[in-house]
Chains A and B, each alone.
Chain A
Amino acid sequence: MRLGYTLIYVSDVAATVAFYESAFGLQRRFIHDSGLYAEMDTGETTLSFAAETMAEMNGLAIRPNSPRDLPAGIEICLVTESPEAAYEQAVGAGALAVKAVEAKPWGQRVGYVRDLNGCLVEICSPVHP
């Protein structure tokens, strides 16, 4: 077993992809023609987005994310050597500033924003052993 994908159900796949490109500098791998599914080019562990309506089609019931609601107890962690600049870029692109980047006792620098759908995104520096 290995972790293959992190998938977030969203109301608008194309808008979410565009947001992740402008706010976090990620690249899209592809958006399916249906507009209901997309993958970001995130290396070994794929970050993907699927339309909420896909959840119903799959027989699932979910609590949709909403920027107006408490975020779900889960976060996407994006790692960069310059989290301060990444944080500024994200907020400039419309991410909700939750907690500015600060240094942790173990030396990591960590900040938090919420994306256009209200999902928590952690922006942090790598942990150097």
Chain B
Amino acid sequence: MPWPSDYHEHAESTATPHAIEAEWTFTASSDGVHVVLPDGRMDLIVAFRGEDDCPVEDLRLLIVGPAQRWTGVPVARGDRFFGIRFRPGRGGACLGVESAALRDGGIFDNDVDDVLGAHAQSLRVAATPAALAVTIRGVARQRAASASELPSPVQRAIELVHVGGGRLGLEEVAVAVDMPERTLRRHLSHSLGLSFKAYSSVLRFQRTMRLLTRDDHPLSLVDAALEGGYSDQAHMTREFRRHGGFTPGARPPLVLIGMAFD
């Protein structure tokens, strides 16, 4: 996967609440537009400028909703980002927002204060980037620790969707977790913020992209379409255009955020 070298990610440790998938940082080393590929997760992000021991400048708060489509984020050299990515289905509860309302969108700037209240204020008063990093981590962990858990059949259903690489049907997932299909559909849409179908499609896209771009022995287009669960190559191409804005034969664009980490 072509990670930009400006991006760094720390996978969750045992000290991190389970609802948090990763903490990440990004510093733009050049001007340009970074493509954010969809991963269906939600992120809490602070964007700012300033060296580690200097004052924080141009601070922006962002809550990014679950995406199924790529977006372009313009960045200038020196723009910095700290982000917290929540596990699938957990972002809404942790941040206190309706995840489906943020689909392919988000909450920005002063609107974030309405959602996060005193937590937003504590981010705004962080004196330095170093303090900001500590604060955003603390805010996320506190919110994750007090957020309600998903009902265990729903948690298990999300796990199954992942284990199946987005290729299982809703009906068989519903049978496996012993929940009526309609009830499960509603629970998944509510927690993930994307429909079962859309979320599964994002997972197929992500997995197939990895099969095509891994360093050793990437799959051919024909094999990737088959293993990824597409009916044919044309189907795979359509889905790649829709989710990522590029075709399977092309190198994926550099990504800023939103990629699950191998």
Contacts and interface: CB of A to CB of B under 8 A. Distances in A.
Nearest to A62: B163
Contacts of B211: 59
Interface in B167-204: 167-168, 172, 175-176, 178
B164 interface: yes
A53 B163 contact: yes
B12 interface: no
Nearest to A9: B163
Give the size range of A's interface with the partner. Answer: 10 to 19
Give the size range of B's interface with the partner. Answer: 20 to 34
B163 A52 contact: yes
Contact of B229 (A11, A60, A61, A68): A61
Contacts of B162: 53, 56
A64 B168 CA distance: 9
B160 interface: yes
Given A59-B207, A61-B207, A69 B167 contact: no
A66 interface: yes
B65 interface: no
Interface in A59-117: 59-64, 66, 68-69
Contacts of B214: 59
Nearest to A54: B163
A52 to B, nearest CB: 4
Give the one of B160, B210, B211 with max A CB within 10 A.
B160
Given A52-B159, A53-B159, A61 B166 contact: yes
B165 interface: yes
A63 B167 CA distance: 8
A66 B172 CA distance: 10
A59 B162 CA distance: 11
A59 B210 contact: yes
A68 B175 contact: yes
B163 A61 contact: yes
A61 B175 contact: no
A55 interface: yes
Contacts of A60: 165
A62 B164 CA distance: 5
Nearest to B172: A69
Contacts of B207: 59, 61
A118 to B, nearest CB: 9
A55 B162 CA distance: 9
Contacts of A52: 159-160, 163
A62 B172 CA distance: 13
B165 A61 contact: yes
A56 B156 CA distance: 14
A82 B42 CA distance: 56
A122 to B, nearest CB: 23
Contact of B175 (A9, A59, A62, A66): A66
B167 A61 contact: yes
Contacts of A59: 207, 210-211, 214, 262
A11 to B, nearest CB: 8
Interface string A31-73: 0000000000000000000001101100111111010110000
21 contacts: A9-B163, A11-B156, A52-B160, A53-B163, A55-B163, A56-B163, A59-B207, A59-B214, A59-B262, A61-B163, A61-B229, A62-B163, A62-B164, A62-B165, A63-B168, A63-B172, A64-B160, A64-B163, A64-B176, A68-B178, A69-B172
The list of the 9 closest CB pairs from A to B, nearest first, reads: A61-B165, A66-B176, A52-B163, A64-B163, A56-B162, A68-B175, A61-B164, A61-B167, A64-B160
